[in-house]
Structure 1
Amino acid sequence: MINSIALVGTVASCVTGFRRDLIKYLVGKDITVYAFALDYDDASKAEVKKLGAVPVDYTLSRSGLNPFKDISDTIKLSRTLRSIKPDLVFCYFSKPVIFGTLAAKLAGVKRRIGMLEGLGYAFTEQPHAVKLKTKILKNVQVILYKISMPFLERLILLNGDDKKDLVDAYGINVKNVDIIGGIGLDLTSYQYSEPPQTPVVFVFVGRLLAEKGIHEFVKAAELVREKYKDSRFLVLGGIDIANPGALTEDALDHAIKSGLITYPGHVNNVIEWLHTSSVFVLPSYREGVPRSTQEAMAIGRAVITSDVPGCRDTVVDGVNGFLTTPWSTLDLYEKMEKFMIDRKLIVTMGVESREMAMRDFDVNSVNDKIYGFLS
């Protein structure tokens, strides 16, 4: 049994969003939860306190490769951990798993668990040659994982491909590796609704980046619309102008003005928009187990997604949707067309998605698993 735990992640929005149910679960077990984040403000701290946890500020560069800064931040974090003396440190996301684990070891915290909800861009296969910078980043990450992960008592991953592509491929020494599937949803917040069949609305949810498959989605949408005039395409997510792989503003404006897509931008009420959709589409290049897909499945939406790590864990091909060849606009178009030709699939596959979500993505079951690892 543990009496206190430090959750070390990145931004406050992840604490109040993705870790919300876990915090409530742990607090319900009379465990003191220290929730670490990099960018707390008064509002987010108040929200964490409402959950029953203690918000803790700390510093760590999320993407920088300055070793002196990382070492300095690790030492500072170790001092903070030493002062609060948690029974266990639970780190999630890549840099916190690396440097949070090392900080916990320095602080003398005897129990250390890490969770990676995906391996990130450096481990994502691309349709073009991988840049030298990406290769270097991947090699650095692997070295740091080899240094830090032996100090973990357990590494939690969401899908088996991540174990194969990281732990097995690079011979990383970690005592225990557990695969838990998605991090789960509070399914009481996701009510089934029958999807519309006329018009057929295909929805994409995610940042408008190449690795999320936005380019393939737009191109496939053009092909579908050319043949089926009653098809509709909804895009939810922010545009990242600074990212070289992002959908450009000009391309986005053209798709909107031509009437090809409906684009409300980044929205906070994704579920309401999903209820207006028929089929969920995520042609991503790699994921952990995408939460957006879990949400769409929970309300009863058929899924089209790439046959890649993480994404393939959400679809039984031909049962609750279809898997597509990565990077293939033509294959994505053909899978979309199946729903235009046989619109009964929209409902029958949506029902299968709902049943899979109820079975596999219940946050209570996931939190029971995680608590079992902590006990």
Structure 2
Amino acid sequence: MAKILILANNDVGLYKFRKELIEELVKDNEVHVSLPNGDFIPKLKELGCKFIETPISRRGTNPITDLKLLINYRRIIKDIKPDQVLTYTIKPNVYGGLASRMSDVPCIANITGLGTAVENGGILQKVTLFLYKLSLKKAKCVFFQNKENEEFIIKKKIISGTHRLIPGSGVNVDYYSLLDYPSDETINFLFIARVMKEKGIDQYLEAADYIKVKYPNTVFHILGYCEDAYEDKLKEMQGKKIIEYHGMQTDVRGFQKISHCTIHPTYYPEGMSNVLLESASCGRPIITTNRSGCREIVDDGVNGYVIEQQNSTDLINKIEKFLELDYESKKQLGLAGRKKVENEFDREFVVKAYLDEISK
């Protein structure tokens, strides 16, 4: 059996967004996964993966810590002797790609978003792009999740080999099945993301504060891990019944059942928003920002609305536009989203792309 080594930065994302690919890979290959320990590791083992615990400082910029990660990856590759390495997210792409290149092992990288270091420019961008160039120059294939990231990397001459555009991580359209649209006596909005500034939480809270007074039959739900800076604000607004905060949820489908619309006002540099893909797959209209990784999933006025990023007024206007629609029109937005996901974002498209490249 061939050996495949997968390098990633967390267990939740690997299981939720790569499960179907892993199920295919373990049929004919010995699959090793290298990532930090977590609650989903037993599930990955159940799929047939061999687990290698590998600490990663996901957002840290300490060069000593990153050098240790590179050394760790080189040791893992030397021990396992994989025939193929698959990498996801920034640090595994950079240091896993570099370790693969140094070890002369074929590598397939997935750009799941370029991150704030590249987005914000400056010296950190130059360092990050230099590291990308070192690690990805000899990659057998680089997958991009949106056109903007692909064009940027090619323009900067970071890669020289095969590259392909895939529809993000795709979505399992059976797991996120089309749900009945709920009655609209009460209109439920969903915010599903880490509660942090770059995810647009400020705009969502401002909109909730305004809309709730004008439209008392609305409920603004928030699902996701809350960063310390927002804890007090969420408690205060929940106490005033402006929002309902539900914390981190491992399965959001129960909330999708009662939802009428997902609001995702992010300006975080994403590859392709899984929140939007899952919501649209369930037949829910979406309101999101006009930026790569989000705009691809929304045909404005067809399955939702596009807003300017960091613009609370525009968000409020689009929410009001949605609220003024009759029940059937709201429902049709959701059905159009489901059709778009089936045609363009089915996870099977992603699995096939990987199997094609691995077979080469």
Name the CA distance, whole Å, in 1 between partners of 2:339 and 2:73.
43
Name the CA distance, whole Å, in 2 between partners of 1:72 and 1:117.
23
Alignment of 1:354-373 (within 5 A): 354-373=338-357
Residues 1:182 and 2:168 are matched in the alignment: yes
2:157 to 171, 179, 190: 171
Corresponding position of 1:120: 115
Corresponding position of 1:31: 29
Is the CA contact 1:15–1:37 (under 8 Å) kept in the aligned structure 2? no
Is the CA contact 2:220–2:243 (under 8 Å) kept in the aligned structure 1? yes
Alignment of 1:73-152 (within 5 A): 73-109=69-105, 111-124=106-119, 135-152=122-139
1:283 to 265, 268, 271: 265
Name the CA distance, whole Å, in 2 between partners of 1:276 and 1:186.
20
Corresponding position of 1:374: 358
Name the CA distance, whole Å, in 2 between partners of 1:70 and 1:218.
36
Name the CA distance, whole Å, in 2 between partners of 1:17 and 1:178.
22
Please say which of residues 199-208 and 114-123 is displaced more in the overlay: 114-123
Is the CA contact 1:5–1:86 (under 8 Å) kept in the aligned structure 2? yes
Residues 1:198 and 2:182 are matched in the alignment: no
Which runs of no fewer than 5 residues in structure 1 stay unpaired? 125-129
1:256 to 238, 254, 259: 238
Name the CA distance, whole Å, in 2 between partners of 1:72 and 1:225.
50
- Once the two structures are TM-superposed, the CA of residue 45 in structure 1 deviates from its matched residue by 4.3
Relative distance call for 1:45 and 1:333 in structure 2 (3 A) is closer
SS at match of 1:115: strand
Corresponding position of 1:127: none
What residue identity is the alignment partner of 1:51?
L
- Once the two structures are TM-superposed, the CA of residue 116 in structure 1 deviates from its matched residue by 1.3
Is the CA contact 1:153–1:174 (under 8 Å) kept in the aligned structure 2? no
Is the CA contact 1:15–1:35 (under 8 Å) kept in the aligned structure 2? no
- Once the two structures are TM-superposed, the CA of residue 310 in structure 1 deviates from its matched residue by 0.4
Is the CA contact 2:34–2:52 (under 8 Å) kept in the aligned structure 1? yes
- Once the two structures are TM-superposed, the CA of residue 232 in structure 1 deviates from its matched residue by 1.7
Name the CA distance, whole Å, in 1 between partners of 2:41 and 2:265.
36
Name the CA distance, whole Å, in 1 between partners of 2:214 and 2:42.
52
Residues 1:212 and 2:196 are matched in the alignment: no
Name the CA distance, whole Å, in 1 between partners of 2:170 and 2:335.
18
Alignment of 1:309-328 (within 5 A): 309-328=292-311
Residues 1:54 and 2:50 are matched in the alignment: yes
Is the CA contact 1:112–1:152 (under 8 Å) kept in the aligned structure 2? yes
Name the CA distance, whole Å, in 2 between partners of 1:122 and 1:65.
10
Name the CA distance, whole Å, in 1 between partners of 2:275 and 2:194.
11
SS at match of 1:221: helix
- Once the two structures are TM-superposed, the CA of residue 341 in structure 1 deviates from its matched residue by 0.8
Is the CA contact 1:151–1:174 (under 8 Å) kept in the aligned structure 2? yes
What residue identity is the alignment partner of 1:21?
E
Which runs of no fewer than 5 residues in structure 2 stay unpaired? none
- Once the two structures are TM-superposed, the CA of residue 44 in structure 1 deviates from its matched residue by 4.6
Name the CA distance, whole Å, in 2 between partners of 1:301 and 1:83.
47
Corresponding position of 2:217: 230
Relative distance call for 1:61 and 1:271 in structure 2 (3 A) is same
Relative distance call for 1:218 and 1:65 in structure 2 (3 A) is closer
- Once the two structures are TM-superposed, the CA of residue 178 in structure 1 deviates from its matched residue by 1.1
- Once the two structures are TM-superposed, the CA of residue 298 in structure 1 deviates from its matched residue by 0.9
Relative distance call for 1:235 and 1:60 in structure 2 (3 A) is closer
Name the CA distance, whole Å, in 2 between partners of 1:304 and 1:90.
33
- Once the two structures are TM-superposed, the CA of residue 183 in structure 1 deviates from its matched residue by 0.9
Relative distance call for 1:59 and 1:106 in structure 2 (3 A) is farther
Aligned length: 356
- Once the two structures are TM-superposed, the CA of residue 176 in structure 1 deviates from its matched residue by 2.0
Is the CA contact 1:158–1:179 (under 8 Å) kept in the aligned structure 2? yes
Output one character per residue of 1:334-361: Cα deviation in whole Å (capped at 9) or x when no partner.
1111121113331010000111111222
Relative distance call for 1:249 and 1:289 in structure 2 (3 A) is same
- Once the two structures are TM-superposed, the CA of residue 319 in structure 1 deviates from its matched residue by 0.7
What residue identity is the alignment partner of 1:342?
L
Name the CA distance, whole Å, in 1 between partners of 2:323 and 2:13.
37
